[in-house]
């Protein structure tokens, strides 16, 4: 089994249940407020651990109680969290996560200590780029850290997976040729490939994918919510429909998908097998509430697949 390096954010989520997502200028009363460990990096790292992957997580939290809870959650998943950074000067990152009756969400992140996932910290752990054959990274940490990590992983001949979430205002074009896989959702694909594209049209998704391939990416893997996932490379293109299931809360569905996909690649499975497994893992996560609290174990995904 190949070792996976996950680099990214850690947030304490404030999960706020509302009947409908707020409109501009609207005041709502919520049904409940809960703190649940989250952050795109944290969720993907948690998924790697919970799904039985051999992984290490690089991320920064504050010296506060939320930081402590996030590290505990990470350790409970089975991923190696021993290199996580505690920052003296910054509070742990947090996210306001509104979840509607329809299971849709709206998220606003306050980065805090995620800015401390910086170049000196990553350079301090540079040996991990040699040990880990797969890099899984997102964009809730400083952009220069993302670029450095991808360059370092490629220099070591590793497989790189970038989940481009959130897409920064100016996406550095030099990132594209460093990517074995880019895994945007349909909204992120439009931001990266052109605002003329309609994310609801599969033909436009196809066009967006070929634009990213032209920029030097090896594989574009778009997550399409209920429409599953779409894989596009220079040899092939294929849509993978997900298993059906109830949609209670879509928070961290994409993170579960990314973590599961990386674990299956690390286990030597084909990208196609990895996508089917990742779709099943994401369907389970959507049927449960919260971010890390919704991520299934390897056995749960196998049982779910067997029951289909
Ligand atoms: O992808 C879901 C995550 O986005 C949440 O857990 C929140 O912390 C934000 O990072």
Secondary structure of 106-173 as H, E, C letters: EEEEECHHHHHCCHHHHHHCCCHHHHCCEEEECCCCCHHHHHHHHHHHHHCCCEEEECCCCCCCCCCH
Res 49: pLDDT: 98
Atom 2, ligand 1: residue with shortest CA distance: 252
Res 292: pLDDT: 98
The atom of ligand 1 lying closest to the CA of 38 is: 6
Q: What is the CA radius of gyration of the chain?
A: 18
pTM: 0.98
Q: Taking a C-beta distance cutoff of 8 angstroms, is the pair 110, 30 a contact?
A: no
Q: How far is CA 133 from CA 4, 44, 254, in A?
A: 6, 16, 22
The atom of ligand 1 lying closest to the CA of 41 is: 10
Res 122: pLDDT: 98
The atom of ligand 1 lying closest to the CA of 94 is: 8
Report the largest interatomic distance among the alpha carbons of the chain, rounded to a whole angstrom: 51
Q: Taking a C-beta distance cutoff of 8 angstroms, is the pair 186, 224 a contact?
A: yes
| Residue ranges in the chain modelled with pLDDT below 70 | none
Cα–Cα distance for residue pair 162/128, rounded to 1 Å: 17
Res 33: pLDDT: 98
Cα–Cα distance for residue pair 134/157, rounded to 1 Å: 9
Both structure tokens of 106: 């709206």
CB-CB neighbours of 83 under 10 Å: 14
Determine the distance separating the centroid of ligand 1 and the alpha carbon of 291, expressed in angstroms: 7
Res 17: pLDDT: 97
Atom 7, ligand 1: residue with shortest CA distance: 39
Please report how the helices 202-214 and 186-193 are oriented relative to each other, as an axis angle in degrees rounded to 10. 50
Determine the distance separating the centroid of ligand 1 and the alpha carbon of 224, expressed in angstroms: 17
- Mutation pick for ligand 1 pocket among 8, 97, 111 (CB with most ligand atoms within 8 Å): 97
Res 289: pLDDT: 97
Q: Taking a C-beta distance cutoff of 8 angstroms, is the pair 84, 74 a contact?
A: yes
Determine the distance separating the centroid of ligand 1 and the alpha carbon of 235, expressed in angstroms: 33
The residue count of the chain comes to 308
Cα–Cα distance for residue pair 48/218, rounded to 1 Å: 23
Binding residues for substrate: 11-13, 39-43, 140, 255
Tens digits of residue pLDDT in 231-270: 999 999 999 999 999 999 999 999 999 999 999 999 999 9
Please classify residue 104 by burial: count the beta carbons closer than 10 Å to its beta carbon, then call 0-12 exposed, 13-18 middle and 19+ buried: middle
The DSSP call for residue 288 is S
Cα–Cα distance for residue pair 209/224, rounded to 1 Å: 13
Told to judge if 180 belongs to the known catalytic residues of this protein, a careful annotator would answer no
């Amino acid at each position: 089994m190949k070792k996976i390096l996950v680099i990214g954010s850690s947030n304490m989520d404030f999960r706020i249940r509302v009947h409908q997502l707020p409109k501009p200028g609207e005041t709502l009363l919520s049904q409940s407020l809960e703190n649940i460990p989250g952050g795109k990096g944290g969720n993907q790292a948690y998924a790697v651990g919970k799904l039985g992957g051999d992984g290490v997580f690089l991320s920064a939290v504050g010296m506060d109680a939320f930081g402590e809870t996030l590290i505990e959650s990470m350790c409970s998943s089975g991923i190696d969290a021993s290199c996580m950074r505690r920052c003296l000067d910054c509070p742990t990152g947090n996210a306001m996560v509104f979840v509607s009756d329809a299971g849709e969400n709206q998220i606003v992140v306050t980065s805090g200590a995620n800015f401390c996932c910086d170049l000196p910290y990553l350079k301090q752990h540079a040996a991990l780029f040699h040990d880990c054959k797969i890099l899984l990274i997102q964009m809730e940490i400083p952009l220069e850290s993302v670029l450095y990590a991808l360059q370092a992983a490629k220099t070591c001949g590793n497989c790189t997976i970038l989940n481009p979430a959130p897409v920064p205002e100016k996406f550095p074009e030099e990132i594209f040729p460093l990517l074995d896989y880019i895994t945007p959702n349909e909204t992120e694909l439009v931001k990266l490939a052109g605002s003329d594209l309609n994310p609801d049209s599969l033909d436009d998704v196809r066009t967006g994918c070929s634009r990213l391939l032209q920029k030097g990416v090896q594989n574009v893997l778009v997550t399409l919510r209920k429409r599953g996932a779409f894989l596009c490379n220079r040899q092939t293109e294929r849509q993978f429909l997900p298993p059906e299931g109830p949609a209670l809360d879509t928070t961290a569905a994409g993170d579960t998908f990314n973590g599961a996909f990386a674990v299956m690649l690390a286990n030597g499975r084909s990208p196609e097998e990895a996508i089917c497994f990742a779709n099943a893992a994401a369907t389970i996560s959507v049927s449960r509430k919260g971010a890390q609290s919704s991520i299934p174990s390897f056995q749960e995904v196998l049982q779910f697949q067997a029951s289909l």
